């Protein structure tokens, strides 16, 4: 891959970048900083298929491996949550609030933690933490270039929980892998450039910033799609994907010719990639906070603990629906929606499986599904309130049709 990218850069006449890319790609692979050490969640177990007359022997399934951490698959109970934001900007880049004011506004709104992710400027874990509130490390690596049709594409990669090393800009002031904003004339090259660039960036996030990579807003300017992200994830797995970026100028939903963020997520999941979905503010002003967030089932409120729990997928994403519990026992997934009983008919839950297929839809405050009744590799839930407010649980991986391990490459 590195050779292909370097060849491409050579074609594009960026010799300085070729040098920096060569050294970057030559780094020894290091373990992700947040590999699980204590098994808080039971090791994933394949769920027994539904009983039938002629019982077939259970399929041998590979052990889960790879950069994604422990994935819920065994029984678990999430009943206590802490609320946080993983995408916000300050005056360190193009935000309107200073980082101190931004974090104070989040804390006043009931947030327990925030990762400030300024464009091409890294914040380190705990840089602004104070009593009862955790400031996580973050950066949004933010290159862009112009496509042959004149539109720009801005494939951004988030980096959270890292060591504070800024990745986004070279000493010349340009993104390290692309150089000055540029026009790419050959439309066939655009996707290859996107894939190579995203792969290089994700590897830098893991290896240099020792952080968790986030694939930001795939539909910003309709720049990415599932085909591109499957190629990226094959080469450089990422376990966090924004499925509900609430920035006003970001698109998330499908149209006649584009997949929505959730469809992209389901394509990745159906191909066996273990990806967790995020709702985010992508806030640039005080008025934009508290639109999209995550609720982490965390046993502690330190940066280290939160980062481990986020890496493990122990959270749900929300744009306004609150859950008081997510339970998975003996193959049965149950949600408890935090709302008054009188509002029960207004909450609709879809349980979604492989291929993005809706397995069942239920109204009420305690939707539930017996996953053993379905031949699917994963199940996730999406709760909708009055068409606009939602909550998304992370997928429960019931099988491992494909294993992705960066260390094998």
Residues that bind Zn ion (CB under 5 A): 140, 156, 216, 282
Between 62 and 287, whose beta carbon lies closer to Zn ion?
A: 287
Q: How far is the CB of 261 from Zn ion (least distance, A)?
A: 13
Between 290 and 308, whose beta carbon lies closer to Zn ion?
A: 290
Between 266 and 282, whose beta carbon lies closer to Zn ion?
A: 282
Structure tokens at 117: 């992710």
Query: How many residues make up the chain in this entry?
Result: 409
H helices of 209-329, in order, are 226-235, 261-270, 303-311
Between 216 and 318, whose beta carbon lies closer to Zn ion?
A: 216
Q: How far is the CB of 164 from Zn ion (least distance, A)?
A: 18
Enter the DSSP assignment of 346. G
Between 41 and 202, whose beta carbon lies closer to Zn ion?
A: 202
Task: Find, among 268, 256, 237, the residue nearest to 356 by Cα.
Answer: 268
Q: How far is the CB of 152 from Zn ion (least distance, A)?
A: 12
Task: Find, among 383, 378, 388, the residue nearest to 268 by Cα.
Answer: 378
CA angle 324, 328, 329 (to 5 degrees): 125
Q: Residue 310: CA atoms inside 13 Å, Cβ hemisphere, count?
A: 35
Q: How far is the CB of 206 from Zn ion (least distance, A)?
A: 19
Q: Tell me if 255 sits within 8 A of 52, measured CB to CB.
A: no
Between 319 and 393, whose beta carbon lies closer to Zn ion?
A: 319
The secondary structure of the chain in percent helix, strand, coil, rounded to multiples of 5, reads 25, 25, 50
Q: How far is the CB of 314 from Zn ion (least distance, A)?
A: 24
Q: How far is the CB of 247 from Zn ion (least distance, A)?
A: 7
| Residue closest to Zn ion when measured from CB atoms | 156
| Alpha carbon distance 168, 214 (integer Å) | 14
DSSP per residue over 57-82, as a string?
PPPP-PPP-SSS---S-S-EEE---E
Between 153 and 297, whose beta carbon lies closer to Zn ion?
A: 153
Structure tokens at 346: 């207004």
Q: How far is the CB of 205 from Zn ion (least distance, A)?
A: 14
Q: How far is the CB of 280 from Zn ion (least distance, A)?
A: 8
User: Which phi and psi (to 5°) does residue 310 adopt?
Assistant: -65, -45
| Alpha carbon distance 179, 13 (integer Å) | 10
| Alpha-carbon distances of 273 from 25, 29, 80, 258, 351, rounded to whole Å | 23, 20, 27, 21, 19
Between 90 and 371, whose beta carbon lies closer to Zn ion?
A: 90
Structure tokens at 360: 């069942």
Collapsing DSSP to helix, strand or coil, 340 comes out as coil
Enter the DSSP assignment of 13. T
Between 145 and 385, whose beta carbon lies closer to Zn ion?
A: 145
Between 293 and 374, whose beta carbon lies closer to Zn ion?
A: 293
Q: How far is the CB of 117 from Zn ion (least distance, A)?
A: 6
Task: Find, among 350, 299, 407, 360, the residue nearest to 76 by Cα.
Answer: 299
Q: How far is the CB of 84 from Zn ion (least distance, A)?
A: 16
Dmax (CA) for the chain in angstroms is: 69
């Amino acid at each position: 891959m590195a050779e292909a990218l370097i060849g491409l850069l050579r074609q594009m006449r960026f010799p300085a970048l070729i040098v920096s890319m060569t050294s970057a790609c030559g780094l020894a692979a290091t373990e992700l900083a947040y590999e699980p050490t204590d098994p808080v969640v039971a090791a994933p177990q394949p769920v027994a298929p539904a009983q039938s007359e002629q019982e077939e022997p259970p399929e041998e399934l590979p052990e889960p491996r790879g950069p994604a951490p422990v994935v819920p698959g065994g029984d678990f109970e999430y009943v206590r949550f802490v609320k946080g934001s993983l995408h916000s900007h300050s005056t360190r880049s193009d935000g309107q609030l200073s980082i101190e004011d931004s974090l104070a506004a989040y804390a006043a709104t009931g947030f327990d933690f925030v990762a400030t992710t300024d464009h091409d400027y890294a914040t380190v874990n705990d840089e602004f933490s104070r009593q009862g509130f955790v400031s996580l490390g973050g950066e949004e690596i933010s290159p862009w270039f112009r496509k042959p049709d004149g539109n720009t594409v801005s494939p951004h990669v988030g980096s959270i929980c890292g060591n504070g090393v800024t990745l986004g800009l070279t000493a010349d002031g340009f993104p390290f892998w692309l150089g000055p904003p540029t026009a790419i004339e050959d439309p066939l090259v655009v996707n290859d450039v996107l894939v190579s660039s995203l792969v290089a960036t994700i590897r830098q996030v893991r290896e240099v910033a020792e952080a968790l990579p986030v694939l930001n807003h795939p539909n910003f300017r309709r720049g990415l799609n599932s085909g591109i992200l499957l190629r990226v994830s094959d080469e450089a797995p990422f376990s966090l994907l924004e499925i509900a970026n609430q920035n006003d100028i970001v698109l998330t939903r499908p149209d006649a010719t584009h997949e929505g963020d959730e469809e992209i997520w389901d394509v990745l999941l159906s191909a066996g990639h273990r990806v967790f979905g995020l709702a985010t503010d992508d806030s640039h002003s005080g008025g934009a906070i508290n639109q999209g967030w995550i609720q982490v089932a965390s046993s502690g409120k330190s940066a280290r603990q939160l980062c481990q729990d986020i890496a493990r997928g122990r959270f749900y994403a929300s744009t306004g629906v609150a859950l008081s519990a997510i339970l998975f026992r003996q193959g049965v997934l149950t949600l408890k929606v935090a709302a008054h009983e009188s509002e029960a008919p207004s909450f609709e839950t879809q349980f979604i499986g492989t291929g993005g297929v809706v397995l069942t839809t239920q109204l009420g405050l305690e939707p539930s599904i017996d996953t053993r009744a379905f031949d699917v590799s994963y199940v996730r839930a999406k709760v909708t309130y009055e068409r606009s407010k939602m909550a998304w649980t992370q997928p429960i991986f019931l099988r491992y049709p494909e294993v992705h391990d960066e260390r094998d490459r």
